[in-house]
Every structure is written in C-alpha cells, then in structure tokens.
Structure 1
C-alpha cells in the first residue's frame, strides 16, 4: 500500500512540473486556424535559436515530440508540426554544433523510430504513421540539412530508400511519395546542391522500377529542366525525354497507369499499378501540360536525326483522346479525361484550350449527355457548363467550341441529340470575332447538312436556322459592337440565299440535298423573325431591312444564288425599281440631315418591297401609295402645299393600317416605328381612319365591312412546316380569352357562360344534323320509339331508291360542311378584328404620348370610351381604358390642349356624361370620370367663367341619375368630381 501511495505522490509531482505553456504551444500547432498554428510554431522555434543555447535533451525531446506529432490523425497537426520541425532542424543543424550529441544521423534515427509502424496498430493508425513518415521526410528535405557539406551522403541515400520503400510497400501512397521527390528536385536546385543528389535520386527511381510511372515522369521532367547536364539512366526513355514524340505510346500507357510489361526481353517491367482509383487528377498531368509546346509537331525541326518533343495537340490526341477516351477505356479513365478537359478549358490559354475538342472526347461527351442515368452524365454536364463559363468570360472561345461540337468531331444537331441547349447558349455569348467563324460554318452546314435523307436534312436545316435566329436576337438586344452589322448581314443573306432562290444542280455550291418548298418557306419566315428583333434597335432598324431587299434585288440580277423563285411581271418590276430609286434618294437625305421621318420611310419602303418579294399582291398597290406619300412629303419644298402633306399623311395612315392588320410582330413594330415618326403630322381624317376601326363590330360582318371582303376563298399564308412559337413573329390573340382585368364583375357573358352557350349551340347543331340525316335515310335514332315495328324502309332498296338516298345524303353533308365552315369563318373573323383593334390601340397610345397636347387628340375620347364599354373581349376593353388613362395622365398644366372654339368642347363634355349613363364594366365608369375631368380642365383653362356651366352639366347628370331608371352612372363619377372641386376651388377664387 505504501509503495502504491509513494508512486501516486511521485506522479503528482511530475504533473506539477509540466510546462503548461509548452503544452499549449503543441496543442495550438494542431489548430485548424492558420494564424494560431503559425503563432504557435513561431513561439516554439524561438526557444531553439542560437542565442537561447538549447540543451541537447531539450532538442531531442522536441524533435521526438514533433516527429511523433506528424503521425497524428488530426490533419491540421501534420501541417503545424511540419512547419515547426522544418524551422527547428534548419536552426539547430544548419551549421556544425560544437560539443553537441545531436547530429544529422541522430535526427534521421529519431525520424525513423518515431514514424515506424510496429505492426500492432489498427489500419487507420498505420496509415497515420505512413503519412507521418512522409511529412517528416518533407520537413528534412525542406530544412536542407542533408545538403550541407558536413552532412553524411549516406543519410540522403537512407532518406531515399525509406521513401521508395514506402512507395513500393503501399502503392496507394505512391503519388504523395512522388510529389515529395518532385519538389525535392526544385529544392536541390535552389540550394545549388551537388548533382550527385539528383543522380542518386534518379538511380533509386529506376532501381525501384518507378521511372515509368506518372511520378517518375514528373521527377524526370523536373530533373531534365533543372539539371540538363546530369547523367541520366540509360534505356529508360528515348533521348532521355518522356515527352519525346517517339515515346508517345509508352507515355500513354504510363499515364493510363497500365502495365506495359517487358520490352525486347531485357527491359525492366514497370511497377505494379496503385490498385486504388483516385477521383482527383494526378499531379503529373499538371507537370506534363506545363511543358508542352502549343505549336504543331510539323513545325519542328525538319532534320530526321533531331529530337522532337510532343506538341500539345499530339499529346492530347495520343494520350488523352486515344488513351483515356478510347472506346475500350473504363469509365474511371474517362472520368479522368473529363477532369483534364475541364482543367484545360478553365486554366489554359485560348490556343491549347481550343484544341481539346477531339473526336473520341466529343463522342463520349455527346453519349453521356444524351442519357441522364449514365455513369458520367454529371461530369459531361459539368464539362458543358465549363465551356459556357469560358465563353462568357472569353467570347472568342465560342468559335472553337462550335467548330468542334458541330463540325467533324461532333454532330450538326448536337443540342437535339444531347437534349441540351449547349450550342445555343454558346453562340448567343459569342462576340463578333467568333461569329465571323461560326456563321460561315453554319452556312456550309445548311448547304450540306451531312445526309441524303430529305427529312433529316430539313430537320437539321430548321435547327440551324433556329441557331442563326438566336444569334440575331442576342445581338439585337446587346450593346453595339464594331463589325457586328456585317455579321448580321451575313446571317440575313444566308436566309435570303436559301429562301428566295433555287440553286441549279450543276452549281458546285448548290445545296445537297435540294431545299424543299416547306424549308424555303421556313427560311422566309426566319427573315421576318430576324427583322422583327432588329428593328427594335436604332442602329439596325433601317440599315438591315434595306440591305436585305437590296441583296435580293442584286442576287436576282446576277443569279449568284440561282434562279429567283418569285415571278415578277414588267409592271411589278417597274414599281420595285421606282421604290429603290426613292430609297436611294432617302439615303442621300439621311447623310445631309438625320430625321426620324427619313428613317421611318426607309423602313417602310424596305418592308413593303420585302412583301412584294414574298408574293404579297397587296404590296404592289402599297408601293404606289408610298410613292405618292414620298413625293408629297419629301418633294420640292417650294411647290409643296399643306393640303398635299395632309393627303400624304392620310395615305400613310392607310398604309400603316394595312400593315397593322397582319398578324405579325414584325409589321406591328414596323408600323409603330413609322407612325411614331409621323404622329405629329396625322390629320383629323387620319384619326378618323383609326377610330373607325374601333367602332367596327368584332364579327364576320365587321370584318367584311372593314376589309371589303368579297371573296372568301383567298389563300392563307400559313406555313407548311412546323415552327416553334418562339421562333415565329406571328401574333395570335385568342378572342375568347380575357387576359387582363379578369376581375371584372359586369359586362357581357363570362368565359364559363360563353363556353356553356357554345356547348348548347353545338348540341343543337348536332341534333339538327342527326334529324336531317335520319330524314334522308328514312330511319330514326335507336333511343327513339323503341317499340316501333319494322317498316318497309328496312327492306332492301333498288338502284333508283339508292341513288335518291345518296343524293339526299350528299345534300345533308354539304349543308353540314357549310355550317361548320361558316362557324370557323366567324371565329377567324373575330380573332382578326380583335388583333386589328389591338394594333390600332397601340398606334393610338403612341399618338397620345407624342401629341397629347394637340387639340384633335380630344376626338379620341368618345371612341375609346365606347370601345371600353361595347367590346366583348376584356383585353380590348382594358387596353382602351389604359390608352385613355395614359392620355389623361399626360394632359397636365401647360400640356393641356388649347381650344380654338369652346362649343365643340361643351358638346364633348355632354357626350361623355351621356356615355357615363350606360351600363358597362367597372373600368368604364372610371374612364368616363377621368375623361370628363380632362375636358373640364380644358374648359376652365380656356375660360374660368366656364366653371358655372360645368356645374350645370354635372347637375343635369345627377338629376338624370335620380329620376331615370335607364341611367346607370356610378357613384364614383360624382366622388371624383367633388374631389376635383375641393382642389380647384382655391385656384378659381384666386
């Protein structure tokens, strides 16, 4: 008991004598925070400076503790302990120490003993000891104690033997061992160590059969760079260079980590594979890539006896494409290949990064992208995102991507095959320099889509047309770029070439296979879609449409694209010729004076000529009207009369209305731009033309009245090939839907009620059809008169009776077809009128923004109010209210119209009040109130004494509200009036 007690007391005394500060330092060396580790290392190293004269026991104890700490399972501990160990070794053994037993040999023994695995540890503990030994070797090398003149060379050999033994014993740690020795070569060079250290390292590398490994290649290349005159082991690499072009096959096998076996019977066999797959790239790839020449191997020395190093493309093709991405390669090696691809795309300069889209890689990328459950699908997606990110930062890189993904290495329809938008996203990011390469490629692919199958060719051409359109749309909305107009012209000319001309088979540049009529119609629609986007840009609005029609005219004359597909008679050619003369004059005027009117007329002429080239019969008469407008507006200023200008303005409005009536975004935008330029010249007659459309019925009769339709068999302009909605500029507005203002509670039938009404009509039509059919056959429905006996009609009929029945059936079915056609005509007519009214409202919105202070703008109030009340389409009603609200909002202060005569204004105010008495949607009541107050402001601004008359008008309306059941004026009408009176009373009294 006493003995145990004494032992206990002794242990307590030892604990009492422990240096707590030193314990804290060692604890902080393992901290995960860099600043704490560095501070602890500095504190520990400061205790072993020469001025402190540390004792051997203190040094030895510290070294043992540090070497042992390298074997800790805490990852941060190895970093902190390694830093402290390196500095202490450098200070203590950097120079010979007198009367000291701490030698380099002692240090090597401590390192070996403290990091040795006894064999009784767990697997994780053994791994910790192996890594501890490796970190210890690194600290010894970095301290440079072995490279000093007083250091025994045998200790260097011992360090190499222990590292190579570890690499051979545990292949999974071989890469780390190789990294230590690779960095050691640079350490030897910086310390200007004797060449024997390097030569011994290379000798051990070969004797351990690690020369032909990724680690061996890295060490060899570093040695070759830093010690070119050293003696290298023979018969390892041709010309002592792993990157020699003649050794590309061996290098491929090495980097794949495959065993090549013995060669020529006397060659050493390579070391066995590591046996453990690593999801990270080996550091050897960085070493090799940094030493490859970007130039082609063909540009090397022409001497047969001279050595030639692999160029980047040769290395990539042989080692990566034919090695990692070979069809027989494992998924793991292809994974490495994708990592390399991503690395080069991210880090390499433009030239080498442009060379990595090799055949096997692109094929693998395509296959992995196409199916989501494939092993490398996520890596393939990551690779495409890397390409897109590089293009976003460096737009010129887009050319290399597209050339390879859609060229010889890839597929024309890459996005369709992979079910992605990789190519589309890349081309929309491309800059002018890249597009100068991409667009000619697309033109070549359009002409030769790589197949003889006409259907496949049509599909590929449609896809390419979509990409060209995507480019145009992206550049139309982007900032202007020098040289971009030439690129956009090229794209438009591609569409012109294949849409408007038919190349002959004898032409060596003719498309193969030939374009079908459907595909040509598709390309013509793409011209409109492109211009639809471009005319929104001030830079391209007039120049590119003019360039298109001029190109069509010139190509038709020169026949550079083949035969022009539009047949034009002499009179039509003369009209087009006169139009081009006018365009030429407009261009000369544009140089002298930049006016919106000149630009607008250039656009209008160009679009009208384009319609002529598209075969629109109405466009010819529009050209003649344009000539009339041009002469009146831009003719001789001295002889020009005001009535001539008015007539021209009225004619121009009619032309714009003819464009606006078409269901096309392009014509809508064009008419808006032109109208905006001439809005201030619109006369009262022109406004009447616009408002008369608002008054028309939204029905077949309204359409016939508006368009003077006499012939219902006109040909449609529907396309004969499927077109994505986003690629078409055709606007279709569903007349049955109410988009905005769906919260309206009053007005006509709701959507559900209309649907029920339509369903009832359909049931009635079906019942009537069945009754007529039964009458013609002389039968009845099965659910009618079930007890009826068989009649004579059930008996067999002779030929005459059959003919009579056939005739009766033909009449019944013809009547049914006529009824269905009439119903479709009514629906189409309503949609056309709704579309037309929408376009007119767009023009009126432009007018009120530009000319709200014009007196004649007041004439718009009543048509807009009536449209808001009467329209059966909520979208139209809401839009009319919106235009009127914008008008009343703009008319403030000095912007109010100035009256020439007061009587028409009084009549207008009374008409507005009369309109307010009608029942309508809630927005209608608000619009009436706003319009009434606007006219009141105009009257009061003209004459303050008019206030009394205004009060009388409101009083009359109030009286009618109280006494008449037919008056449906809303309370808000008078609430707004009262609010205005409160705010205006002070101004009137003053």
Structure 2
C-alpha cells in the first residue's frame, strides 16, 4: 500500500493576511525603550475601549498573545506586555464595556492565563522558568486590573488565583518573594474594594501551603492585621495571631533570616523549603515589619488582650543584632544586616534610627571598617557614610551616633581602630542640642575610659581631648556661635578640660579610674590653649570664655569640687591673682559702650595672664603687677592725667610684646586683638618699643641686646618649659616654632626662600667642613700626630712607651679639645636658636604694626614707621621678613588716600621735612626691588602730607628731589633707581591737575 500523498505534488501554501501594524505593536511592547513600550501599549489598549466594541474573538486572541508574551524572556517583553494586559483587562471589564450576549468572563481570562502559562514538563529548564515568570506576571496584571474585586466577580475566581500563586511559591522557592509581594501589595492597594472574606481566604491559602512562617508570610500576615484588624486568623500559627508578639521573638528571628528548620518545628514534610539561593537584595518583608513598628505609638507596645507586642528596640536587638549580626552569623546575613542598617538610617524617623547602634552591629562595623581586605569592608564604609549623611541632614542625630559608636556598645578609639574620621566628622556637624547630650558622655569617658591600664586610658583621653577640640573649632565657625547656648556649650568644654588639667581627685569619690597622669594633664592644658586660640581668632566670646575658665578654676580650687588643685602658689602670687580677679569683677560691671572694646581687651589680658599663673609661668606675677598699673591708670575712678595714661599705654605695649614673643599662636592672636583695641592710644614711646625690635640684629647679639641677656650660663634653664612640653599633634598644638622658611609658607606676601635656604645650606656646609678640619687638627696635635702622616705606616710612640704622667697629660689635652668642640657646637646652636627667636619676634611685631597702620594710618605718629620699615626691607637677612616689612609699608601708603592723609601741626612740620630727606637718603642705598618701590611710596606719601598742610611746600619737595637727582649724577655711592623719579614724575602730573582745580 502506497503511503499517503505518494507521488502527489507539494501542496501550495495559502496566502495569509498579516496585520503588519498589529505585529509592530507586539514587537514594540518588547522594546527596551520606555517610550516605545508605552506608545505600543496605548495603541493596543485603544482598540479595546468601550466605543470600539471589540468581539469576544478579538479579546481572546489578544489576551492569548499577551499572556504568551509574558512567558517570553526576550528583551523587556514581560514589562511591556504586563502593562498592556492590565489596561486591556481594565477596558474590557469596565462598567461602560458591558456587551449584550457576550460569553467572555473573568473565568475565561483565568483559563487562558492558566493554560498559556502552564509548564507541561517537556520544555527545557529555561523555558520552564519563563512560563513560571509568565504565570507570576499574569497574576499581577489580573490583580492590578481589579477585575477580581468587581461586584460581579466570583469568589471562586479569587480562590483560583490564590491557589495558582501560592502553589507556584511553594514549588519554586526562588520565585517565592515575588509571589508574596503580589499578594502583599494587593492587600494594601485594594483594601477599600476588597471584602474581608477575600483577605481571610488569602491567609487561609498562605497557611495551607505552609508559607505562614516565611518572610513573605510574615509580611502578608502583618498587612492583613494592619488593614483588616477584625478578620479571623487561623489558630496555632502565631501566638495571639501576631508575628510581632513578644513571645515569638525567637521564631521571628529565625524566619526573618530564613534559617528556620521547619521539620523540627513540627510542620511536617509538606512545609515550604528555603530558597537555597542567597540574594543580595533585602527582602521586602523587612520593609513590611518596619512599617508596622514605625506606626506603633512610642510608648505603646501592648495589643489586644494580654498580648505584648515587640517594641522596635526589642525587635532590633533580638532579630537583627542577635540574628543577622550574631558572631556565628554568615557574611551573607551580615550583609543583609548592613543593608537594613542603612535603610533605617536613611528612611526611618530619628527616634527609631537612634536605636540601631547595638552591640553586635557596632562590633561588626568596627571590625569590617578596620581592614580593607575583609568581605564586608565596602558595606561598612557605606554604613559609616550613611551615619555622616544623616547627621549632616539632621545635626541632632549626632548625639545618638556618638553614644552608639563610643558608648557601651562601641569604643572610645573608634576612629583610631577603623582608621577613619567618622566620629570626628560627626562631632563637627553636631548642633547645640546634640552637643549638650554628647558632652556629659565625653566627661564620663574621660573620667573612666573603661580600662584599668594607665597607658590605654591615656590614649583614650588623648582621643577625647582631640574630639573636644574639634567641637570647639566647629562651634566657633557655626552661624549661631553668638547665641548664649553656644557660649554655654563652649564653656562646658573648657570646664571639662580644666577639671582634668588642674585637679587630682580620689578615685573612689570622683569616679576617675585610673588616675589622670601628669602627661595627660599637660595635654589638657595645651588643649585649653588651642581652644582659646580658636575662640580668640573667631572673635566670638573672646573675652568672656577665658574669664569663665579661670574663674571656674579659682572656684573649684576653693571648693575642691574636682579634687585637689595641683598648682602650687606662694602667698604673693595668690595675692596678685586675687587682685586680678577683683579687677576682672569691676571690668565685668562696666557698661559704657564707648569702653566696650577696651574693657573686653583688658578682661582678655587679665584672664590669659591668670591662666599663665595657673600654668606655672614665672613671669606671670610681674605681668599681673604691670596690668594692675595699666588698669588703674586707664580705668581708675578719677580721670587720669594725660601723662599717666600715656605711661599706662606704654606699659601695655610692653606687656603685649611679652605675650607676642612667646612661641604660641594663642598669645599671638590675643596680643593682636588687645593691641587692636588700644592702638589709637599708643604713644610715640610705645611705638618706639615696637620699632626698636625691628632695628635689632637677627643674631645672638641682637637677642642678647633685646632681652638684656649676658653671655654666660645664668639662663641655662630658660625655655625648659617649652622643651618639657609633651609631644602632641602639630595641627592641634598651640605652640608654633617659626623660622624663615615656615613664615614664608604662612604669609601671603612672602616670597619663596628656597634660593636663600640653598645659599645658607652651602655656607653652613663650608662652615661645618672648616670646623671639622680645625677639630681634627687640634685632636692630632694633642695626640702628637698630623693628618698628613695618617696611612703612611709610621707611628708615634705607642701607649706602652708612655708613663703615667704622660698619660695624664694626654687625657688633660684630650679633655680640653673635646670641651672646646662642645662649646663650639653649643655656640653654633645658640646662634641658630637666637636667629629663629628674633625672626619670630620681628614677625609678631610686624603683625602688630600692620594692625596699627590699619587703625591709625591717618595719625601723624604713624609716619615714624616709614624709615624703620624701609631699613628692615633693605637690611634683613631673611627674605620673608624683608617682604613682610614692605607689605606693611605698602598697606600703609595704600590706606593714606584723600582725606586719610595725616594732618600736620606747626610743631611737626620740621621733623617731617627731615623725614623726607632721610627717606631720600635711604633710597640712595642698594637694596632689593621691594626696597626701591617702598622708598618711592614713602617719599610720595610724605610729599602728600607736606603739600596737604601747605601748598607752597611743593617747592621744597621739588628741591629735595632735585638734590637726590644731583647726587645720582655726581656720587658713586648714590644708587637711586630710575623708577624712583618715574613715580615722582607721574605723581607731579596728577598733583598739578588737582592743585589747579
């Protein structure tokens, strides 16, 4: 028998009408472009609006095509087809779309969905996964279309959807979270449309599939209990029908970290299996739980009956800290823990975010931050940044952060262990409310760092001192620094420093354990100076806070509030300090606004001098006496005579110079602020005191002359206080040792001294070589040998040929040689130190003179500065000093414009003429370019002063310039530069026009 169609021709394929537009729509639904997908969905949905009256066949074909598209893994098909399906179902089953004679129902839709998305078993693994996802997305589209919640919808249809969704979740654990998410969102999104029976049925199916004790089950259960509190829940699942019941905390912890052993829990073989696949994304169930906990009243933890619900703190401790961050927990679960930590920090209220710094979490955060190679280091870095971001947005959160990272759960040395500046950045962002909570904690930690080891305690206290200093620096730069609250916080910080810097106490009574070492006390005193330095620089509370500190130290010394005062003071020093406090009390009662600046300046001077007394400065007592003299002359009850006031001003300048000479930024800034207040009162004698320093040599001889030193060893111990100071971080230290190169980098007008340094190095090397050669020659002479004989093979008499007398004589000669060498090296060091001291001192004086010219440039007395500044510019061996002197002069001449030019009186005219001639004499000397321009500016300034006093003076000025021009032609010793006359010519043109007008 021949097979069918044998020998027959091939059957011709019939033509099929293809709707290319429809094909393009389905193709575009799978596009990865959002706009293309949405346009395609809109085009498709528009075909099923009520006015188009589509047929059942059209609807069926379209739904089949859309459900098949959901089972495709091509591009973004599931997203586009899901959107289109949801909208098509909404249009087809809308109230306006009711059609007569239609047999198309929700059951028909569910039938299509179930049949198309069913994995028959013959497909490949990937195809089966695609069908499972198709069923999942189909269920989501059906639920979102709300066709299951319409009045005509059948309860069996909802049951069918639940059955298929939960069956999929049970069979395929890797897709369970997405299945649970659909039902969870359904409860919230359609709670107003849904009947309570629908929710009860969802919970029933959840339990029947043994999914209640899974993260998805917890989320669905809590959502149902939140939106439908009156429904009936299956019994014996959760105590009191609440996963958050306090008695369920252990079970809840196992469920949320997906580690429960269901069979051991008695749920049988049919219980849901764990997914077995770790996902880096945080499960949505955590959001569900946090939402409920966040909505609970702060003080309410009880639900219906006698049940007690977990508070957020209990939940976090049991489920997160003892669960995800347990010491035995895997890195994957700790990863989830960090995700949850960041979520709470970024999204939850300040109250809840303050509760997440628990013991295991902080320990894990510290360990992971400390080592870059650790698996969770990046997550720990993100967590630390999340803390800082939250603090920057809400500065009040700083208090909770610091308590968490440094309190009982954390470590005082958190930043040092983790090699970060997390805590430092947090305290710098803290607002006043946060500071007021942090400071008691810090004071407690300083007193008791949590260790009995003295070295460890000293290290912790040093860290805390640095953080307190950071608080001061950030607070003085804050916008609300002028508020009383800010001043109170700053004062509290200074009092904490003072407590541990100046007092020792009984450990049993005060709680200080272990005792504060002497080195730490010196550190705290140094930090007080650094704090005051920042405060004085900012010029906020610059007078009140130093006074508050010394007053607190005095009062505590009397009451022994902080223990025994460690500073020993003799009776005379006590009397001086007592008199100073009386003066301070009187100054505080002065309310004259006109004297406000002077009063504040004297309060600052008195306070800082008393602080020097407490720090053991031997010169402080004499300074207090001089201050009393100035105070009585300036603020005495009776109006002082002019001579007495002048004498007081001169004495004040000497006091300020003694402060300025100290190698400390604090005293430098303080002297500048006080000087600015009293600059208008400075007399010619006071100004001469400043000028004399500028004219001193930058050498050992200059230092001896300036400080009345003798070239003997009577001052061997001078400066020992500075040498004994403990080694602290440079950026925190108030002490500044200034040399030429350091000043060059700190002063904006300074030029780079590299060339000069190189020359100095070469000279130094030459000097060293010469010294070494001379030393070796002396040594050889003492030994009876010569360098030329070395290595020649000849030897002097051996030691064996020398008798005892000769040996003693040789020892004596060697002692003399080495002693001379030691003296030579000592002198060399003295010279170097002296030069640094003089350079430092001149820098400070130039700072004061810069203030003076800004305040008093219109005073005739300021003209006395011109010549000394010009000479310093020319003669200084330090380029930086020369440039700085020229900068002060340039600032002075710049300010003297228009009406700001000093006015002459008849008594000073002759001296000003002499000054002009002296300036021209100075211009005849060779000097750096800055000196040339400085001479020209100074000469023109004096010319303006003279012509401003009397126009006829222009003739005399022209004569002076003429004499200088003549000297330029005739004398080889006159080195006036051409620019000197160029500037003069230009000034003559402008001055001539002004005089004619």
TM-score of the two chains, using structure 2 as the length reference: 0.93
Q: Which residue of 2 aligns with 1:466?
A: 466
- Residues 482, 573 of structure 1: alpha-carbon distance in 2 compared, 3 angstrom cutoff: closer
Conserved? CA contact 1:632–1:645, under 8 Å: yes
- Residues 297, 418 of structure 1: alpha-carbon distance in 2 compared, 3 angstrom cutoff: same
- Residues 32, 947 of structure 1: alpha-carbon distance in 2 compared, 3 angstrom cutoff: farther
Q: Which residue of 2 aligns with 1:530?
A: 531
Tell whether 2:959 aligns with 1:952.
yes
Q: Which residue of 2 aligns with 1:359?
A: 359
RMSD (Å), alpha carbons: 2.8
Cα distance in 2 for partners of 1:646, 1:121 equals 107
Cα distance in 2 for partners of 1:712, 1:379 equals 60
The counterpart of 2:797, out of the listed 792, 796, 809, is 792
Conserved? CA contact 1:746–1:921, under 8 Å: no
The counterpart of 2:177, out of the listed 162, 175, 178, is 175
Q: Which residue of 2 aligns with 1:850?
A: 855
- Residues 296, 988 of structure 1: alpha-carbon distance in 2 compared, 3 angstrom cutoff: closer
Instruction: Pick which of 199-208 and 616-625 moved more.
Output: 199-208
Cα distance in 2 for partners of 1:762, 1:748 equals 21
- Residues 594, 791 of structure 1: alpha-carbon distance in 2 compared, 3 angstrom cutoff: closer
Q: Which residue of 2 aligns with 1:421?
A: 421
- Residues 472, 772 of structure 1: alpha-carbon distance in 2 compared, 3 angstrom cutoff: same
1:98-130 Cα offsets, whole Å, 9 max, x none, are: 312322222112212333446676655544433
Tell whether 2:146 aligns with 1:144.
yes
Q: Which residue of 2 aligns with 1:602?
A: 603
Instruction: Pick which of 328-337 and 798-807 moved more.
Output: 798-807
Instruction: Pick which of 578-587 and 790-799 moved more.
Output: 790-799
Displacement, 1:198?
Answer: 2.7
Cα distance in 2 for partners of 1:830, 1:323 equals 67
- Residues 986, 187 of structure 1: alpha-carbon distance in 2 compared, 3 angstrom cutoff: closer
Instruction: Pick which of 569-578 and 655-664 moved more.
Output: 569-578
Matching of residues 358-757 of structure 1 within 5 Å: 358-479=358-479, 480=481, 481-505=483-507, 507-590=508-591, 595-638=596-639, 640-710=640-710, 711-713=714-716, 714-718=718-722, 719-735=724-740, 739=744, 750-757=756-763
Conserved? CA contact 1:909–1:932, under 8 Å: yes
Instruction: Pick which of 372-381 and 954-963 moved more.
Output: 954-963
The counterpart of 1:929, out of the listed 933, 936, 939, is 936
SS of the equivalent of 2:62 reads: helix
Conserved? CA contact 2:67–2:113, under 8 Å: yes
- Residues 593, 905 of structure 1: alpha-carbon distance in 2 compared, 3 angstrom cutoff: closer
Cα distance in 2 for partners of 1:925, 1:937 equals 19
Conserved? CA contact 2:31–2:75, under 8 Å: no
Cα distance in 2 for partners of 1:814, 1:525 equals 38
Q: Which residue of 2 aligns with 1:251?
A: 252
- Residues 239, 525 of structure 1: alpha-carbon distance in 2 compared, 3 angstrom cutoff: same
Count of residue pairs the alignment pairs up:
979
1:335-392 Cα offsets, whole Å, 9 max, x none, are: 1100100110111111111110000000000001101111111111111111111111
Conserved? CA contact 1:209–1:268, under 8 Å: no
Instruction: Pick which of 165-174 and 31-40 moved more.
Output: 31-40
Cα distance in 2 for partners of 1:847, 1:264 equals 86
1:815-861 Cα offsets, whole Å, 9 max, x none, are: 22222221111111111111111111111111100110100111100
Conserved? CA contact 1:746–1:922, under 8 Å: no
Tell whether 2:772 aligns with 1:766.
yes
- Residues 58, 722 of structure 1: alpha-carbon distance in 2 compared, 3 angstrom cutoff: same
Tell whether 2:982 aligns with 1:975.
yes
Q: Which residue of 1 aligns with 2:158?
A: 156
Matching of residues 278-357 of structure 1 within 5 Å: 278-292=279-293, 300=301, 306-357=306-357
- Residues 700, 166 of structure 1: alpha-carbon distance in 2 compared, 3 angstrom cutoff: same
Matching of residues 899-914 of structure 1 within 5 Å: 899-900=904-905, 901-914=908-921
Displacement, 1:291?
Answer: 1.3
Cα distance in 1 for partners of 2:754, 2:365 equals 58
Q: Which residue of 1 aligns with 2:3?
A: none
SS of the equivalent of 1:395 reads: coil
- Residues 609, 744 of structure 1: alpha-carbon distance in 2 compared, 3 angstrom cutoff: closer
Q: Which residue of 2 aligns with 1:131?
A: 133
- Residues 416, 928 of structure 1: alpha-carbon distance in 2 compared, 3 angstrom cutoff: same
Q: Which residue of 2 aligns with 1:260?
A: 261
Conserved? CA contact 2:342–2:383, under 8 Å: yes
Cα distance in 1 for partners of 2:134, 2:300 equals 48
Instruction: Pick which of 718-727 and 376-385 moved more.
Output: 718-727
- Residues 436, 986 of structure 1: alpha-carbon distance in 2 compared, 3 angstrom cutoff: same
Matching of residues 41-52 of structure 1 within 5 Å: 41-52=41-52
1:898-943 Cα offsets, whole Å, 9 max, x none, are: 1124322221111111111111111111111111111111122122
Cα distance in 1 for partners of 2:625, 2:549 equals 21
Displacement, 1:780?
Answer: 5.2
Q: Which residue of 2 aligns with 1:219?
A: 220
- Residues 2, 476 of structure 1: alpha-carbon distance in 2 compared, 3 angstrom cutoff: farther
Cα distance in 2 for partners of 1:64, 1:748 equals 84
1:944-971 Cα offsets, whole Å, 9 max, x none, are: 2222222222222222223322222222
Displacement, 1:785?
Answer: 3.7
SS of the equivalent of 2:821 reads: helix
Displacement, 1:796?
Answer: 6.0
What stretches of structure 1 of length at least 5 have no aligned partner?
none
Conserved? CA contact 1:116–1:129, under 8 Å: yes
- Residues 229, 413 of structure 1: alpha-carbon distance in 2 compared, 3 angstrom cutoff: same
Tell whether 2:253 aligns with 1:233.
no
Conserved? CA contact 1:664–1:729, under 8 Å: yes
Instruction: Pick which of 205-214 and 544-553 moved more.
Output: 205-214
Instruction: Pick which of 211-220 and 144-153 moved more.
Output: 144-153
SS of the equivalent of 1:228 reads: coil
Displacement, 1:779?
Answer: 4.7
What stretches of structure 2 of length at least 5 have no aligned partner?
1-6
Cα distance in 1 for partners of 2:585, 2:392 equals 41
Conserved? CA contact 2:510–2:562, under 8 Å: no
SS of the equivalent of 1:310 reads: coil
Cα distance in 1 for partners of 2:751, 2:320 equals 70
Displacement, 1:141?
Answer: 1.3
Cα distance in 2 for partners of 1:716, 1:121 equals 90
- Residues 685, 66 of structure 1: alpha-carbon distance in 2 compared, 3 angstrom cutoff: same
Conserved? CA contact 1:294–1:352, under 8 Å: no
Cα distance in 2 for partners of 1:443, 1:225 equals 45
Displacement, 1:90?
Answer: 2.8
1:525-554 Cα offsets, whole Å, 9 max, x none, are: 111111111113343111100001111111
Q: Which residue of 2 aligns with 1:209?
A: 210
Q: Which residue of 2 aligns with 1:986?
A: 993
Tell whether 2:193 aligns with 1:191.
yes
Cα distance in 2 for partners of 1:268, 1:248 equals 24
Tell whether 2:884 aligns with 1:883.
no
Conserved? CA contact 1:917–1:969, under 8 Å: yes
Instruction: Pick which of 263-272 and 445-454 moved more.
Output: 263-272
Displacement, 1:488?
Answer: 1.2
Displacement, 1:48?
Answer: 2.1
Q: Which residue of 2 aligns with 1:817?
A: 822
Tell whether 2:105 aligns with 1:103.
yes
SS of the equivalent of 2:181 reads: helix
Instruction: Pick which of 949-958 and 908-917 moved more.
Output: 949-958
TM-score of the two chains, using structure 1 as the length reference: 0.94
